[in-house]
Each structure stands twice: as C-alpha cells, then as structure tokens.
C-alpha cells in the first residue's frame, strides 16, 4: 500500500470569510470496492474525499497522477432525493438562505425527469430544461468586483458551459438575490435565453457535506444502474460500487 499526502488550505478569493481549516488528501493504492474504501477512510482518516472546488480538484488529480493510481474512488454516491443546487459550491460564498433564492416562472420547475438544468428567459425568470440543450450562458468571474457576470454567446450544453466558465472565469453564474437576478438579466442583453449555474441531482457526499461541486466527464453520469463516483483522467465517471480500485481519503486536521 502506498500513501501520498498533500495539504490543501481552504482559502478562496471568492470567500467573504477566509477558512482556517486545512484539508489533507490521501491517495491509497489498495484495491477496494466503494464501501470498503469508505470504511478504510473513516478508520484511518476522516472519510472518502469530498471535493469543494477546482483548486482541490486539481490537487487531487495531480496526486493521483503522481501516485500512478489510475482510477480512484471519491466520496460522491447517488442518493434517492434530487435537489436543486448551484454549480459554484464555495461554502462561504452564500450568506444565510442565499443559496435557496429562486426566480421560477409560472409552472416551473416542470415535472420532466430529464429537465435537470436551468435557463434564464427574456423576462428574467427561470425554466428547467434538459442539460443537453445548447444555449448561450452567463459566467461568474470572482476576480472582477466591477463586472462579475460575463455573457458568452457561444451555444453550449450545460456541462460544456460549466467547463468553459471554470476554465476562463470562476463558474457558471449563481443568483443569490433579486438584485443579482436583475444584473444578470441586463448583462444578457439581446440573448433571450442563457444558462445559469442551477442544476438538480441526487448525488450525495459520504461525509454528509452539502457541497454541490461536480466535475463530471462529458456524458456523465450515464447509467442509472451504478451509484458511485471515480476519478478517471482527472474527471468524474459514475461506476459500479462493487469495482475494486484505488481511492482517495481526506482528513480535517488543524496545523
């Protein structure tokens, strides 16, 4: 068995309040199914890895590559109750109840089981639609205090829009209140419809974290019969929980 350790300080430029709790990730090169890996992580550390943002994702990706671990479990597993949440998962980004702001149009969200992503329409209200549809989108840029919302007029599906925003800016736009909703409506200009960062899924973290961060590979998750998550080539795939692969743990530890 081989362990590789790295300490990640949870300090983000997006945060209103800086976090002082470090998170240590451990890549364990020992073949286990998801449940066995979860038990090992809970006995030796804290739990299977929870990943909150792209900074942590890049660190874990690098660790897995350095360890030559190939595919590795993380702590995300499919639950039974889908819920709406924001692509931008910064734990200090939202004040109380701000992550619950919604501006649904009449009759929305609909009942379609395949309508898991959200667009803003011309009047500033929201509709849920299939994530494979292609629309312009609004990114959030945490590095800009004067122009935090960026309209991208390229047509992309929701996942590709999310990937673009994370590579070029910070993430797809979150909407925390009516003022921000109006700002995004204005930025959108003549584009009648645009993706925002709200999505719905039933995936849950092993440690009970409410983090909504996801980093799915294109076309993932793709199989309703599998319920666990592996990192493969730096992105996430759903996989059968019985598979025997390496895994990534974390521990919270004050230094």
Lowest mean pLDDT among 20-29, 146-155, 177-186: 20-29
pLDDT of residue 113: 66
Q: Which DSSP helix (H) or strand (E) runs through 43?
A: helix 34-44
pLDDT at 5 > cutoff 90: no
pLDDT, average across residues 21-44: 94
Task: Determine contact, residues 176/101, Cβ cutoff 8 Å.
Answer: yes
pLDDT of residue 3: 53
pLDDT, average across residues 63-68: 96
pLDDT of residue 237: 96
pLDDT of residue 243: 97
pLDDT at 11 > cutoff 50: no
The domains located in the chain, with CATH, are 3-78+225-252 (3.10.100.10), 80-200 (no CATH)
pLDDT of residue 144: 83
Task: Determine contact, residues 76/17, Cβ cutoff 8 Å.
Answer: no
Mean pLDDT value across the chain: 89
pLDDT of residue 112: 67
Q: Which residue has the tokens 């739990």?
A: 47
pLDDT of residue 14: 33
Q: How far apart are CA 178 and CA 171, in angstroms?
A: 19
Tell me the whole-structure pTM to 2 decimals: 0.79
């Amino acid at each position: 068995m081989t362990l590789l350790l790295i300490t990640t300080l949870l300090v983000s430029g997006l945060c209103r309040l800086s976090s002082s709790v470090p998170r240590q990730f451990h890549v364990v090169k020992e073949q286990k199914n998801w449940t066995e890996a979860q038990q090992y992580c809970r006995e030796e550390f804290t739990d299977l890895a929870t990943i909150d943002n792209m900074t942590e994702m890049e660190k874990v990706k690098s660790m897995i590559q350095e360890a030559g671990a190939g595919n590795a479990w993380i702590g995300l597993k499919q639950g039974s109750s889908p819920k709406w949440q924001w692509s931008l998962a910064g734990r200090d980004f939202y004040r109380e109840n701000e992550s619950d702001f919604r501006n649904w149009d009449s009759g929305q969200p609909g009942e379609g089981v395949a309508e898991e992503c959200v667009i803003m329409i011309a009047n500033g209200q929201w509709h849920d639609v299939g994530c494979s549809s292609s629309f312009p989108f609004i990114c959030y840029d945490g590095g800009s205090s004067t122009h935090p919302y960026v309209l991208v007029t390229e047509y992309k599906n929701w996942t590709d829009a999310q990937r673009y925003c994370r590579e070029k800016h910070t993430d797809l736009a979150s909407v925390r209140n009516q003022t921000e909703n109006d700002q995004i409506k204005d930025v959108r200009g003549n584009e009648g419809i645009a993706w925002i960062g709200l999505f719905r899924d039933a995936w849950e973290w092993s440690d009970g974290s409410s983090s909504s961060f996801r980093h799915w590979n294109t076309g993932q998750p793709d199989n309703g019969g599998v319920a666990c998550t592996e990192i493969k080539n730096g992105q996430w795939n759903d996989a059968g929980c019985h598979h025997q692969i390496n895994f990534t743990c974390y521990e919270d530890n004050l230094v």
